[in-house]
Amino acid sequence: MNFLYWTTIVFCRHKVAMLALLLTASLSLSSPTMAATVKNVTANNGVVTITFDDVVHKASVFTLAGPNRIALDIEGVENLGVLNRNTVPDDVVIRSVRMGQYDPTTARVVFDLDKPGIVTNGEFSADGRSFRLNVRSALIDEFESSLGKGRKIFNPPAKFRSAPPKRDYASRARIKKSAKNKNNPRIYGPNNNNLPLVVIDAGHGGHDPGAISPHGGQREKDITLAIAKKIRDKLAATGRIRVALTRENDKFLVLQDRFGIARKIGADLFISIHADSAGSHQANGGTVYTLSEVASDREAQKLASRENKADIINGINLGGADDNVSSILIDLTQRETMNVSADFAKILLREAKPNMRLRSNSHRFASFVVLKAPDTPSILFETGYLTNERDVKFLSTAAGQSKIADSITKAAQAHFARRLANR
Ligand code: ZN
C-alpha cells in the first residue's frame, strides 16, 4: 500500500502546536490530469473551511464513533500541499484535524471530536475553490443516529467542478500492483482494469481438510473449492466483474495469505467460502459473517476460533497487519470497510434467500482472522452444514453449487452498481 501519505496535524487550542509528518511511503504519482491541492483547513466555532488551489470533483462526509470523529473525503485532490501553520482550530467540538491521501485522487480530512457532534450543513463557495462545513455538538442519540446514515454528498457549482477522477477500481489496482509478483493469482473475466475485482477464497486446503461430513465423508476443503470455482465462472461470465481465487487446487494457505492476496491485487471484495459442522445433525442453512471484535453470540465466537485455528496450528502470528500501514489509517478504513462488508452481507442474504436454506439470524459478527484486511470489504460465507444430510447433498452437487454461485453473482452485481451510484 504505497499510496499512504499521511499527514497528522495536531492543533492545540489558541496555539500553533505540532505538525507531525507521518510519511508511510512516498507518494509518487504522476498523472496527466491537473488536480487540486488542499491549501488550508480551519475550524472555528463550528465552521470548518477547506480551501483548494483548483476546482475539485465533490466532497462527502460521514460520521464515525469510537473515537468520535467526522471524516470528509474530497475527490479530485491529488496533493495535500503544505498546510498553513497559522491554522488553529478554536472550536467547541473539534479537538484536532488530520489529513491523509486516502486514495490517489481523494484526500480525507478527519476531525477528531471532543464530544458527540454532527454535520448540519455543507456548501462549496461559488467558485468551487473552498468548502464550508457546519458542525455542532449533539446529544448522544442524535450522534448515534447519524452513524448509520452513510455519506452526505456535496457538489461544487457545475461550472467549477472538475471531471470525476478515473475510476477508483482502476487507480487502486494500478497503485497496488506496484510490486510485480509472479505469485499473483490469475485474474479471470473481462480484461479491463476499470472493472471491479472480487477475490474468492476457498476455505481450508492441503493438510487442513476443515469439517468432514458424517454422511459420506465429504471434506470441507473440496466442497469450498468446487463452490469457489463455480462462483468464479459465473462472476466472470457477467462480463462486468473480474475475479481471482486464493487457491485453485488442494493447497494449504495461512489465513493472512488469503486476505493478503486480495490486498495485493487490489480486490474490491473478498469472499471466503466455508461449510460448517455442528453436534446436532438438525442444524442447517447458510450464515454470512462479517468482522467484528465483539462476536454477536457465543456460537459465532466459537466458530471464529475454529476457523482461526488453521493459523494457530502453524504457529503463525494471528492477524498481524502489514507494518507499512499506519495504524491511523487502519482504524479509519477498517470501520468503513466493516460497514461496506455488512451492506454486502445484507444484499447477499436477500439474493440467497430464494436459492438456498439460510439460518434464522443469518448475518452474524465475529472476529475472523481471514476478514481482517483493513481496506478490503470482506465476508465469510458458511454455506451450510456438512453434518446435515440435506445440506451436504446441496453443497456437494453441481445444482446446489450453482445456486450459491448465482446468489453471489447477483449480490456482487447489485453491490457494485450501488457503490458506483453512491460515488
Ligand atoms: Zn471452514
The 10s digit of each residue's pLDDT in 118-136 is 999 999 999 999 999 999 9
pLDDT band with cut points at 50, 70 and 90 for residue 403: very high
What is the mean pLDDT of the segment spanning 299-326?
54
What is the mean pLDDT of the segment spanning 28-47?
68
Residue 290: per-residue pLDDT: 92
Looking at every residue in the chain, the average pLDDT score rounds to: 79
Three cell numbers, residue 72: 470528509
251: helix, strand or coil: coil
**R_g over Cα of the chain:** 23
Which pairs from 142-148 meet CB under 8 Å and 24+ separation? 142/116, 142/118, 143/63, 143/65, 143/68, 143/116, 143/117, 143/118, 144/65, 144/116, 146/63, 146/118, 146/119, 147/63, 147/64, 147/65
- Whole-number Å distance, alpha carbon 360 to ligand 1 midpoint, is 20
- Whole-number Å distance, alpha carbon 307 to ligand 1 midpoint, is 5
- Whole-number Å distance, alpha carbon 273 to ligand 1 midpoint, is 7
Residue 332: per-residue pLDDT: 60
Classify residue 219 by its DSSP letter: B
pLDDT band with cut points at 50, 70 and 90 for residue 311: low
Q: Count other Cβ atoms within 10 Å, centred on residue 149.
A: 10
Task: Please enumerate in sequence order all residues whose Cβ is within 8 A of that of 131, keeping only pairs 6 or more positions apart, or say none.
Answer: 49, 50, 52, 56, 59, 74, 122, 123, 124, 125, 154, 156
Task: Please enumerate in sequence order all residues whose Cβ is within 8 A of that of 276, keeping only pairs 6 or more positions apart, or say none.
Answer: 211, 283, 287, 303, 382, 384, 385, 386, 387
Q: Above 80 in pLDDT, residue 5?
A: no
- Whole-number Å distance, alpha carbon 48 to ligand 1 midpoint, is 48
Handedness of CA 188, 193, 198, 201 (dihedral sign): positive
- Whole-number Å distance, alpha carbon 69 to ligand 1 midpoint, is 36
The pLDDT > 70 percentage for the chain reads 77
- Whole-number Å distance, alpha carbon 235 to ligand 1 midpoint, is 22
d(CA 280, CA 270): 30
- Whole-number Å distance, alpha carbon 220 to ligand 1 midpoint, is 7
One-letter identity of residue 162: S
Residue 46: per-residue pLDDT: 86
- Whole-number Å distance, alpha carbon 203 to ligand 1 midpoint, is 6
- Whole-number Å distance, alpha carbon 195 to ligand 1 midpoint, is 29
One-letter identity of residue 41: V
- Whole-number Å distance, alpha carbon 201 to ligand 1 midpoint, is 11
pLDDT band with cut points at 50, 70 and 90 for residue 181: low
pLDDT tens-place string over residues 59-101: 999 887 767 888 888 888 876 655 543 455 667 788 877 777 6
What is the mean pLDDT of the segment spanning 14-42?
45
- 77-79 and 378-385: which strand pairing? unpaired
- Whole-number Å distance, alpha carbon 211 to ligand 1 midpoint, is 7
Residue 65: per-residue pLDDT: 75
What is the mean pLDDT of the segment spanning 198-222?
94
- Whole-number Å distance, alpha carbon 221 to ligand 1 midpoint, is 8
pLDDT tens-place string over residues 129-176: 999 999 999 988 888 888 777 788 999 999 999 888 765 444 444 344
337: helix, strand or coil: helix
What is the mean pLDDT of the segment spanning 192-196?
92
Residue 106: per-residue pLDDT: 79
- Whole-number Å distance, alpha carbon 159 to ligand 1 midpoint, is 54
- Whole-number Å distance, alpha carbon 145 to ligand 1 midpoint, is 35
- Whole-number Å distance, alpha carbon 140 to ligand 1 midpoint, is 39
Three cell numbers, residue 306: 475454529
Q: Above 60 in pLDDT, residue 324?
A: no
Do residues 201 and 217 lie in contact, with contact meaning Cβ atoms separated by under 8 Å? no
- Whole-number Å distance, alpha carbon 383 to ligand 1 midpoint, is 10
For 158-194, give one letter per residue: b (16+ CB within 10 A) or e. Answer: eeebbeebebbbbbbbebbeeeeeeeebebbbeeebe
- Whole-number Å distance, alpha carbon 313 to ligand 1 midpoint, is 14
Query: Is the peptide bond between 32 and the residue preceding it cis, with omega within 30 degrees of 0?
Result: no
Pick the range with the lowest mean pLDDT from 89-103, 277-291, 296-310: 89-103
- Whole-number Å distance, alpha carbon 332 to ligand 1 midpoint, is 29
Do residues 61 and 131 lie in contact, with contact meaning Cβ atoms separated by under 8 Å? no
Residue scoring higher pLDDT (66 or 299): 299
pLDDT band with cut points at 50, 70 and 90 for residue 273: very high
